[in-house]
Structure 1
Amino acid sequence: MGPAGADGADGTDGTDGVDGQVTCLVCHSGSNMEAKQGQFWMSAHAVGAIAVDYAGGRQSCAQCHSHEGFVQYATLGEVLGDISNPSAWECNTCHGLHETFEGQDYALRMHDAVSPLSNIVDDMEVVAGFTMDLNGNSNLCANCHQSRRPEPNIESPGDTYRITSTHYGPHHGAQANVVYGTGFAEIEGSVAYPTAGGSIHLEQASCTGCHMGDFTDKEGGHSFIPSVAACNECHDTELEDYNYGGVQTEVEELLVELRDQLIELGVVAGDDTDGYHPVVGTFPMVQVQAFFNWTGLEEDRSLGVHNPKYVKALLLNSIEAMEAELSATAAN
C-alpha cells in the first residue's frame, strides 16, 4: 500500500434540518391548544346532555354517543359492551397517536372511506363493497353522521312496510349520505337524481372545509359551526347566511309541503309545538319511502346546502308521488 494522497477539497456544507419540535408546536403549543379547546366548548359535540346521558352507555349507541365508545370502535372495530361511565367527546376522541409525524398528520383515528351502516340488514351486507368516500379527514365525520338503516324498500322489499316505532327513520344525522348523494329512497319521478359522489360540495369542498374553516366571527375551527366566510370564499359572494341562491328557502318550503301531505295520509302525526313523528302502522311502501326522505332531510338540518340537486330531487319526486297517493285515496 502506498503513501496517502493529498486531502480532497472540503464538500459543500449541508442545510440544517428543521427543529423536530417546531412541527409539533404548530399544534401542541399551549396557546393553540387552549384556543382549540375554547372553540370546541362552543360545539354540540362537547355537550354530554345532548346524547351521552341518553345513549352513551348503550352498546348499540356508544360508537357515536360517547368518547369511550368511539375510541373503542375506532381501535377495535366494535363496541364490546355497555359503557359503565360514558363521557362526552374530547380532543382524544377524534385524535389518537400520530402515524407519520409530518405536518398534516393530525392523528385522526379514522380517515378511510366509510362502509355505510345502512349496508347492513340483519347482520348481512346488502350492497356489497359500497363505500362513501368524503375525502380524507371528512371521512372521520361520516363514521357517525350517516343513516343507521337502509331505505325501507331495501330493508324489506314489498308493496307495504310496517312502521313499528315512533322513532323510525334514518336516525338523527344522515349528513354524510346527503353530501355523498346516496342512501335515501330514490322514488321515480320527473326529476333526475345526480350521480352518487358527484356533488359540487364533495368535489370542491368538504365537511372540514366548511365546518372547520378559519375560526372567524365565532364560526369554523373546532366549534364545527359552518363558516359563512368559507361559503363566501368558495362562491365568491358576500352572503350573511347559508342561503346561497335561495336554496334553503326553497327546500324548507318543500319539506313543509311533503310533511303536510304525509299528515293528510296518516303517516305522520304531531304539531309544531311537540314535534312530528311517524305513526305506528302498515302503509304503502311509497308512503314510507317519502316519510324516510322527509325525516332524514329534515334532520340533516342543512336545508339543502349539503347537496342541493340531490335534496331537491328527493323532495320533488316524493311530493309528486304523494300527490298521486292523495288522489288515489280521494278516488276511493
Structure 2
Amino acid sequence: MRTHQLFRLMMLMATSLLFVHCTSEYTPIPGEDGVDGIDGVDGTASCIACHSNSVREPILASYELSQHGIQTTMFTGQPLSEYTNDVGSFCVKCHTNEGYLEFQETGGVMASSATPTRIDCHTCHDVHESFDFENDGLDYALKNDDPVILDLGGTTLDLGDASNNCISCHQPRNSYAIPMGSGTYEITSKRFGPHHGPQSTILEGILGAEIAGSIAYPAAGSATHRTDASCVSCHMGESEDISRGLHSWVPTESACLTCHTNGAPTEASGFTDDMETLRALLEANNMFDEDGYYNEGTYSVDLAQAAWNYRTLLEDKSKGIHNPDYTKALIRNSIEALQD
C-alpha cells in the first residue's frame, strides 16, 4: 500500500514539473492588428476657417475704408440723427443699422432711435441657415438673400445669390414716377430722379426713361455683368490690399481681368463725352440750379425723361460699366430727343 502511494506522489510531482516547463517556454503567436478608429472632425474647424483673426482682421480693416464703414452722415451731409424721427423714411432703412434691421424684420420702419448707428457687420449678417457647408453651400449668414421686390415699379429682382442682399438698398426709391407718354411733367423736388441707388436696375437694364431713338434697348437681364458676374464677384474679390475688394467693395483689377483680358475698363465707351453733351443740353433748358440740383417746374415729357436718365446714370456711379449697352441707349436717345 505504501509503495503504491509513493508511486502516485512521484507521478504527481513529475507532471507538475512538466507543466511548469511548458508554460515557462511558451512563445505566443501574435494575431492580426485591429482597425484604429477614425478621429472625428474638430467641432470648431469649420468655424475657424472663417472666424479666425487672420481672416477677420483684413475684412474689418477693409470695411473701415468703405462707404458703409465711414458713413456717419447722409448723402448730403446731415447727421444720421436728423432722420431717426422720420418714421417710414427710406433714408432710415438703408442708412442706419436700426432702420435696416427693422425693415428686414417687418417690411417697414415704424420706430425711431435717438442714437442711430452706422451699418455694421450685424446689419447684413446674422446666423447661418445651415452648418453643412459641404452640401448646402456657404451662405455667409446673410440676413437677406431672397429675391427683392423693388420699391419703384414693384418688379421682383433676383440676382440668384448673395447679391440680393445688396439690392435691398442699391435700388431707386419710389419718390418720383418715371416720366412717360407725351405732354408735360411736373418736377416737384430738386432731388428728382432715382434717388440715390440705381445700381441694381441699371445692371438689370430696367427703370430708365426709355425714350425711342436710334439705339435699341437690350433685353432686361441680358448684360454680361448680369449673366456672367455678380455684385460679390466684382466688388468683393480676394485681395492683399485692404483698399480693394474684400469689404471695401472697390473692384480689384484681378476681378476685372478674369473677363476683361485686355485690361480693366474705366468707363463704357464714350460715357464721359456723352454725359457732358447731355448735361449741356439740360443746362440750356434751365434744368439745373447753381448747386447742380434740378429746378422745380413744368417741363415737356422728353425733357423730364432726359433729366431722369442723366440723374440715373450719374448716380449709378459705374460710368456705364454695369450695363454698357443699356447706358448707351439711354444717353444717346436722350441726346437725340433734346437735339430734335
How do residues 133-144 of structure 1 correspond to structure 2 at under 5 angstroms? 133-144=158-169
Q: TM-score, normalised to structure 2's length?
A: 0.81
AA partner of residue 148 (structure 1): R
Q: Which of 64, 72, 79 is residue 53 of structure 1 equivalent to? A: 79
1:199, 1:15 → 2: CA distance?
A: 50
AA partner of residue 117 (structure 2): S
Q: Which of 162, 174, 179 is residue 153 of structure 1 equivalent to? A: 179
1:207, 1:280 → 2: CA distance?
A: 35
Q: Which of 284, 301, 325 is residue 264 of structure 1 equivalent to? A: 284
2:201, 2:316 → 1: CA distance?
A: 9
Contact 2:171–2:199, Cα closer than 8 Å, also in 1: yes
Contact 2:178–2:207, Cα closer than 8 Å, also in 1: no
Contact 2:162–2:232, Cα closer than 8 Å, also in 1: yes
Contact 1:210–1:230, Cα closer than 8 Å, also in 2: yes
Q: Which of 296, 306, 318 is residue 280 of structure 1 equivalent to? A: 296
List runs of 5+ in structure 1 lacking aligned partners: 1-10, 120-126, 325-332
Give the number of equivalent residue pairs: 295
1:56, 1:145 → 2: CA distance?
A: 19
The verdict on how the C-alpha distance between 1:87 and 1:190 changes in structure 2, with shifts beyond 3 A counting, is: same
Q: Which of 332, 335, 339 is residue 316 of structure 1 equivalent to? A: 332
More deviation in 48-57 or 180-189?
Answer: 48-57
1:278, 1:151 → 2: CA distance?
A: 15
- Per the alignment, residue 187 of structure 1 pairs with 211
Task: Give, in angstroms, the shift of residue 30 of structure 1.
Answer: 2.3
Task: Give, in angstroms, the shift of residue 36 of structure 1.
Answer: 0.9
AA partner of residue 146 (structure 2): D
More deviation in 251-260 or 76-85?
Answer: 76-85
SS at match of 2:60: helix
Contact 2:187–2:297, Cα closer than 8 Å, also in 1: yes
Task: Give, in angstroms, the shift of residue 214 of structure 1.
Answer: 0.6
Tell me how large the CA RMSD over aligned residues is: 2.2
Task: Give, in angstroms, the shift of residue 13 of structure 1.
Answer: 8.0
Q: Does 1:74 align with 2:104?
A: yes
The verdict on how the C-alpha distance between 1:250 and 1:12 changes in structure 2, with shifts beyond 3 A counting, is: farther
Q: Does 1:106 align with 2:140?
A: yes
More deviation in 41-50 or 140-149?
Answer: 41-50
Task: Give, in angstroms, the shift of residue 12 of structure 1.
Answer: 8.5
1:181, 1:16 → 2: CA distance?
A: 53
Contact 2:275–2:331, Cα closer than 8 Å, also in 1: yes
- Per the alignment, residue 167 of structure 1 pairs with 191
2:116, 2:49 → 1: CA distance?
A: 31
Contact 2:198–2:312, Cα closer than 8 Å, also in 1: yes
Percent of aligned pairs with the same residue? Answer: 38
Contact 1:259–1:268, Cα closer than 8 Å, also in 2: no
List runs of 5+ in structure 2 lacking aligned partners: 1-33
Task: Give, in angstroms, the shift of residue 281 of structure 1.
Answer: 0.3
SS at match of 1:23: helix
Contact 1:258–1:294, Cα closer than 8 Å, also in 2: yes
- Per the alignment, residue 306 of structure 2 pairs with 290
- Per the alignment, residue 234 of structure 1 pairs with 259
Q: TM-score, normalised to structure 1's length?
A: 0.83
The verdict on how the C-alpha distance between 1:56 and 1:21 changes in structure 2, with shifts beyond 3 A counting, is: farther
